[in-house]
């Protein structure tokens, strides 16, 4: 191209060929990604490169609980960036964003959960908790539940309660006991070789299925009786998603180890496993450096997370979750919706068939609403909007879903009539 140097050509490619670069150079995790090119996100809105805006109905899969670009979170990020970025997060350094966040989290948790190990992600938190439980108890076994999701790393994948997702990667960790969530009988499979039981208070990827209080208490009692540690995975449900700061608050059952992620960083990458000080000391000796991480508890992520937590607690967002959830329930009425399951602002709309769900998701996207599905409930549409979503935006989202349902219903009826 005469008159153009390589730098100018690169700029032209950046303007006209980002999609080609995406498909050529970015690893794909499905055969048909959405491939939306987002250039700006603010509040509950996403803006694509073509100028089209979308109402975000999933909040980055429960990550953006305060929406996109919350001013207090952005200010904290800028302030920390100006101070320092990475130093050495686990070793000998005292990093004030990290220590301040750990102290604040401990102040909002039961006294037995007073020591925080920050990680880079929720999956890494799962890995750390598994190691901690084995080290603390001296036992090799771990129990988890069918239709549970705990991450995609080799260890976390071993706990996933669905063979479809794990079969291609065997052999996985040995000694994993799979049980049925909600089954009292299965609790007796927790034995003297069980180091810990990893459970979701609300099974998210099953399509939002909350635990019953009696069963969760029975699980706690069985772990106590047998000497196994109880681990609650609140990576999706923590930070107000279900209407309380932590989902387990509504059950009166306290875990030995708590797993956090997603909203923990208020949009920045961050995870954590939390236990007692005494318990966590097991990772510091025999061997020393029993669990280490390069980026876990990054100062910028911790600064963002702490700012997000304070905003959640002081701006009234937590108190409004229940009312906003009720608005969704009232407005999402349609014959196509066979079931509506909800835990605060984590919702599943069951359409009965995965292909129907995918068509409705596509119709919603075309109308400007980003939704999703669930790994273990592909027939269900996922809604997990920012907790900051307004009543007007809720009305807009519900109208789009109902319209998409009506269009799908009309097409199905038309096809039936044609077939007859």
- Report pLDDT digits (tens) over 33-60: 888 999 999 999 999 999 999 999 999 9
- Which CATH fold would you assign to the domain 71-314? 3.40.640
Picking from 39-48, 168-177, 179-188, 411-420, which range would have the lowest pLDDT averaged per residue?
411-420
Residue-level pLDDT at 91: 75
* 252 phi-psi bin (left φ>0, alpha ψ -120 to 50, beta other): left
- Which CATH fold would you assign to the domain 19-69+316-419? 3.90.1150
The single residue listed with the structure tokens 């039961």 is 110
CATH 3.40.640.10 boundaries in the chain: 71-314
- Closest by Cα among 307, 241, 240, 231 to 270: 307
CATH 3.90.1150.10 boundaries in the chain: 19-69+316-419
To the nearest 10 degrees (0 to 180), the angle between helices 71-83 and 299-314 is 150
pTM: 0.94
ω into 287 cis (within 30 of 0)? yes
Alpha-carbon span 103 to 260, nearest angstrom = 15
Is the pLDDT reported for residue 149 higher than 70? yes
- In tens, the pLDDT along 77-103 reads 999 999 999 998 887 889 999 999 999
């Amino acid at each position: 191209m005469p008159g153009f140097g390589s730098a100018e050509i690169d700029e032209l490619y950046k303007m006209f060929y980002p999609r080609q670069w995406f498909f050529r150079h970015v690893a794909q995790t499905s055969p048909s990604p959405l491939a939306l090119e987002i250039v700006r996100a603010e509040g509950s809105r996403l803006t694509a490169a073509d100028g089209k805006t979308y109402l975000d109905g999933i909040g980055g899969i429960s990550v953006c609980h305060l929406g996109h670009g919350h001013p207090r979170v952005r200010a904290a990020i800028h302030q920390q960036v100006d101070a320092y970025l990475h130093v050495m997060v686990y070793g000998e350094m005292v990093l004030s964003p990290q220590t301040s966040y750990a102290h604040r989290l401990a102040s909002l948790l039961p006294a037995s959960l007073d020591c925080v190990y920050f990680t880079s992600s929720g999956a890494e938190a799962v890995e750390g908790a598994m190691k901690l439980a084995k080290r603390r108890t001296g036992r090799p076994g771990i129990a988890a539940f069918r239709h549970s999701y705990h991450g995609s790393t080799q260890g976390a994948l071993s706990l996933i309660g669905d063979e479809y997702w794990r079969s291609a990667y065997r052999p996985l960790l040995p000694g994993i006991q799979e049980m049925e969530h909600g089954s009292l009988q299965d609790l007796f499979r927790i034995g003297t070789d069980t180091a810990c039981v990893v459970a979701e208070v609300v099974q998210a990827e099953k399509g939002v299925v909350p635990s019953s209080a009696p069963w969760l208490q029975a699980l706690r009692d069985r772990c106590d009786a047998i000497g196994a540690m109880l681990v609650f995975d609140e990576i999706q449900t923590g930070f107000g998603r279900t209407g309380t700061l932590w989902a387990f608050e509504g059950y009166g059952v306290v875990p030995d180890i708590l797993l956090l992620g997603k909203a923990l960083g208020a949009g920045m990458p961050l995870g954590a496993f939390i236990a007692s000080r005494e318990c966590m000391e097991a990772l510091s000796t025999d061997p020393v450096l029993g669990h280490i991480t390069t980026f876990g508890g990054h100062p910028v992520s911790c600064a963002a997370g702490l700012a997000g937590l304070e905003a959640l607690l002081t701006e009234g967002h937590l108190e409004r979750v229940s009312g906003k959830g009720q608005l969704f329930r009232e407005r999402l009425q349609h014959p196509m919706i066979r079931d509506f399951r909800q835990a605060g602002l984590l919702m599943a709309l069951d359409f009965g068939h995965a292909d129907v769900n995918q068509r409705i998701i596509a119709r919603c996207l075309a109308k400007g609403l980003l939704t999703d599905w669930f790994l273990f409930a592909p027939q269900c549409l996922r809604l997990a909007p920012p907790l900051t979503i307004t009543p007007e935006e809720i009305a807009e989202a519900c109208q789009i879903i109902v319209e998409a349902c009506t269009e799908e219903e009309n097409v199905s009826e038309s096809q039936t009539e044609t077939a007859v």
